[in-house]
A and B are shown apart, each in its own frame.
Chain A
């Protein structure tokens, strides 16, 4: 008898009318690590939200140990022993680990006062029992992404959850941190817990899962024991060969051409041109801290090359992003674009895809077309008044060229993460409207096929891409990557900041590794670059000792 059986689950979202779940079935055995895989929008998260009581299904039933249960809210889920770690961490930064873990279930003195000592002792014991090395007295704001995952899991264990749901737990983790997390999950399994792992990374599934359920378009497509399944097959199952073509239509050819196997082909850059973006001896000091967040950093990005900067969280990547975006001014040193100090946003002709795509990169309460028009405002509002035709034309064109699943008038917040990222790309990679209009007129005269509208004549001279595929599925990721390479080949200077080493190794022409605010390693990418050397450098273990 399975520990959990979800049958015929249907859920339609009223606002968008989309069927998130359409007769999904999930069977999880006791003490099993079960991977729930699928592309963005396949309905994985919705299914788990239903199990955790955050959403109510339109149809279907849930059986725990053979008994039908109703789970109207998370409190009921907790009573059933179900706990969920959502995709975005939910910790109170000002609280300690112990306070976060015991929040709302604190040990009390005299049944009223928070018992700090007991909480720290008990949380410490629970952490040690499960092989986590968290300090219960440490403030949560000081934790790394991996430690926050451990904290989230501890929260569930504190509430005696026996069925743990983890939604994309590895999306923010570096490789060695993923190892640690997986080791922890295996210990939990040995201790009798059942774990559901939501992911879209096929490689992870193979490494850890006992069984796999593949979801596609709201349905559970197939259930397999992981041992039966080669990684390549899993990717194929997730995308579905027809669906992949369908989704990639518009940017279709590049998606097919640029796969992981073709990595070497991607890296054939033309000789890099003149320096476009430069940081010279940049230091960013921090208030009340001795060590600056960026310490004497110099880097150059030339036209026609991708410079990949990687590093673990907290080692200066976020600061480099703000510097290159012109949002933060350096305390010392200079940041130059084409030899001049950073100009205002659009004037220097630079595109910027931020890490924080939901808050910094988009206005969720504005429509898709408003988001698209937000950057090149001066040409969409000639003489101050809106050129509605131009805005509508640009929106329709962008939706077509980037195969965005949405309408121009739709509120951006109702789109999926991958589609929001495509909207950002469409805006940031667009030519200034002037050029587009001229092209449209020319096309009209020559009567070229409509498809050509997607071709770009003049790309931004400098592009800043920050974790551009974080949380995206394979089809969207390879689309983003192919666009990146296209822009590079057309002569853009591209600075790629990523905490994902695979992405850096696949795309970058030159690799810079950051540790504690300094560049500790700079290498030209090629077949001879050793992954382990970069891993070591990210941890500060370099032969030159520059990290310490």
Chain B
């Protein structure tokens, strides 16, 4: 597998490089056009994420969450299942974790968060499985059903957050804070980077092994590459419609849970805030390869951190980061690298 994989990786690295260059150019132009002080904005956007422990820690914490979301989107895409329900699954995962932690404030400091995380995983998995099962039994396109179910779940979670779990002492539309004993220990205070990155790294490695070395991963990739062939060699079609969707939902649910246990300690209204969609972007940039998810998540985390810094420190709106992300998308999906490589070889 080495030869093909090496050229594949080379192509992917190059396309990533070109996308980065393009995105960089777009960002510079936008900053130049939109900010009153270009040099300040430029410095803040590109250097601020590394300027102090607070920014760096926050960025890495977000990267951890994006790794989970990217793995979640990727495991579904890799088997030709499309889970567009990330937003709802992240939000539900967060709400489930917050609810359990708030309901058992004096419980065991290890068991309660564990129970909360497992419940969030199950809740997300259920949402993903539901769409896979709807596809199987009723022929509903999972791409549409996952999106619609998620849209409904978002409103349900809004209701839970602003209703039963609303923190009466707060002016925000948010739940109360979970007890300190349940929180992941912080690594770089005051930033939100916490010990949650440890299980995230473990899950990244496990997923990489699962997809590259096991029968499950092999059958999943065969399904993704050619479902008719998969059926022909006797792969259970039903299992590979539901299982990848369930795993995808589970990872999204866990991302929501870790956001609560590691970063925010509460759930605000509109909590998922695009993590589901960014997860898809991460998976696309990574080409569904688990190990490439980390650099891809790093890229999106960095862009987000830069945008936040520039928003606080200069007079640029946060929308700029959306534009930059869109530019990265565009450059990646346009597959410039493939053509670039082909053109170069043609000339030689």
Chain A residues with CB under 8 Å of chain B are: 14, 325, 327, 344-346, 352, 354, 359-367, 369-370, 373-375, 377-378, 381, 384-386, 407-411
Task: Select from chain B the residue with minimum beta-carbon distance to A364.
Answer: B226
Q: Which residue of A lies closest to B236 (CB)?
A: A344
Residue numbers in B under 8 Å from A408 (CB-CB): 1
> Do A381 and B346 contact each other (CB < 8 Å), given the known contacts A409-B1, A409-B4, A411-B4?
no
Contacting pair A359 B215 (CB below 8 A): no
Question: Could you mark each residue 217-251 of chain B with 1 if its beta carbon is under 8 Å from any beta carbon of chain A, else 0?
Answer: 01101100110111111100000000000000000
Within the assembled complex, what's the spacing in Å between the Cα atoms of A367 and B4? Answer: 8
Q: Which has the most chain A C-beta neighbours within 10 Å: B1, B5, B221, B342?
A: B1
Complex-state Cα separation, A375 to B218, whole angstroms: 11
* A409 and B6 alpha carbons, distance in the complex (Å): 11
Q: Are A381 and B215 in contact (CB under 8 A)?
A: yes
Whole-angstrom distance between the Cβ of B337 and the nearest chain A Cβ: 15
Instruction: Name B54-91 residues within 8 Å CB distance of A.
Output: none
Q: Is the interface of B mostly helix, strand, loop or mixed?
A: helix
Please indicate the chain A residues that have their CB under 8 angstroms from the CB of B1 in the complex: 367, 369-370, 408-409
**A375 / chain B contacts, CB cutoff of 8 Å:** 233-234
Interchain CA distance A363-B226 in the complex, whole Å: 6
A362 x B229 contact (CB < 8 A): yes
Do B342 and A365 have beta carbons less than 8 Å apart? Answer: no
Determine the distance from Cα of A369 to Cα of B2 in the docked complex, in whole angstroms: 12
Q: Are A354 and B232 in contact (CB under 8 A)?
A: yes
The answer to whether A344 touches B214, judged by C-beta atoms less than 8 angstroms apart, is: no
Q: Which residues of B contact A386 (CB under 8 A)?
A: 213-215, 218
Could you tell me if B234 and A344 are in contact, using CB atoms closer than 8 angstroms? yes
Residue pair B229, A360 in contact (C-beta under 8 Å): yes
| A345, A363, A373: the one within 8 Å of B225 (CB) | A363
- B194-225 interface code vs A (CB 8 A; 1 in, 0 out): 00000000000000000001111011011001
Residues of chain A with a CB closer than 8 A to B218's CB:
370, 373-374, 377, 381, 386
B3 touches A360 (CB 8 A): no
Given contacts A409-B2, A409-B3, contact A352 B213 (CB under 8 A): no
**B-side contacts of A370, CB under 8 Å:** 1, 218, 222
Q: Is the CB of A14 within 8 A of B342?
A: yes
Which A residues touch B216, using CB under 8 A?
A: 384
- Residue with the greatest number of chain B CB neighbours at <10 A, chosen from A363, A377, A385, A408: A363
Closest to A366 in B: B225
Can you give 24 contacting A-B residue pairs, CB < 8 Å? A344-B234, A345-B232, A354-B232, A359-B228, A360-B232, A361-B229, A361-B232, A362-B226, A366-B221, A366-B222, A366-B226, A369-B1, A370-B222, A374-B222, A375-B234, A377-B218, A377-B233, A378-B215, A384-B214, A385-B213, A385-B215, A386-B215, A410-B3, A410-B4
Q: Report the separation of the CA atoms of residues A346 and B219 in the bound assembly, to the nearest whole angstrom.
A: 15
Best-buried of B3, B228, B234 by chain A (most CB within 10 Å): B234
Query: For the complex, what is the distance from the CA of A373 to the CA of B2, rounded to whole Å?
Result: 17
| Complex Cα–Cα for A345 and B215 (A) | 16
Give the residue name and chain of the B residue nearest to A345 (CB): B234
Across the interface, name the chain A residue whose C-beta is closest to B229: A363
Q: Name B residues whose Cβ lies closer than 8 Å to a Cβ of A.
A: 1-5, 213-216, 218-219, 221-222, 225-226, 228-234, 342, 345-346
Q: Are A381 and B214 neighbours in the complex by a CB distance under 8 Å?
A: yes
What B residues does A410 contact at CB under 8 A?
Answer: 3-4
Contact between B228 and A360, CB atoms less than 8 A apart? yes
Q: How far is the CB of B66 from chain A (nearest CB, A)?
A: 27
With a cutoff of 8 Å between Cβ atoms, the chain A residues found around residue B215 in the complex are 377-378, 381, 384-386
Complex alpha-carbon distance, A283 and B219, angstroms: 33
Cross-chain contact B226 with A359 (CB below 8 angstroms): yes
Please, which residues of chain A bring their CB within 8 A of the CB of B231?
327
Give the docked Cα–Cα distance between A409 and B219 (Å).
18
Cβ of B341 to closest chain A Cβ, rounded Å: 10
Contact B232 A352 (CB under 8 A): yes
Having A369-B1, A385-B215, A408-B1, one finds 5 other A-B pairs with CB under 8 Å, namely A345-B232, A361-B229, A363-B222, A365-B225, A367-B1
Minimum distance in angstroms from B269 CB to a CB of chain A: 43
> Which residue on A lies nearest to B221, using beta carbons?
A366
B-chain residues with CB within 8 Å of residue A407 when the two chains form the complex: 3
Contact partner of B234 (CB less than 8 A), chosen from A346, A360, A362, A411, is A346
Chain A residues contacting B228 (CB-CB under 8 Å) are 359-360
Tell me the bound Cα distance from A362 to B234 in angstroms: 13
Whole-angstrom distance between the Cβ of A430 and the nearest chain B Cβ? 13
Given contacts A359-B226, A363-B225, is CB(A377)–CB(B232) below 8 Å? no
* A14 x B229 contact (CB < 8 A): no
Distance (Å) between the CB of B108 and the closest chain A CB?
33
**CB neighbours of B222 from chain A (8 A):** 363, 366, 370, 374
Report chain A residues within 8 Å CB of B219. Answer: 377
Q: With both chains docked as a complex, state the minimum distance between the C-beta of B152 and any C-beta of chain A, in angstroms.
A: 35
CA distance A359 to B230 in the complex (A): 10
- A346–B233 alpha-carbon span in the complex (Å): 8
Return B225 CB to nearest CB of chain A, in Å.
5
Q: How far is the CA of A366 from the CA of B229 in the complex (A)?
A: 11
Give chain A residues whose Cβ lies under 8 Å from the Cβ of B342. 14
Closest CB pairs A-B (n = 9) = A345-B234, A381-B215, A409-B3, A363-B226, A363-B229, A365-B225, A374-B233, A14-B345, A375-B233
In the bound complex, CA of A378 to CA of B215 (Å)? 8
When C-beta atoms are compared, the residue in chain A nearest to B217 turns out to be: A386
* A337 to B: closest C-beta gap in Å: 14
Closest to A408 in B: B1
Quick one: which of B2, B214, B229 contacts A359, CB cutoff 8 A? B229
Q: How far is the CA of A14 from the CA of B213 in the complex (A)?
A: 31
Q: CA separation between A365 and B4, bound complex, in Å? A: 10
Shortest CB–CB separation between residue B288 and chain A, in angstroms? 13
Give bound CA distance, A113 to B131, whole Å: 43
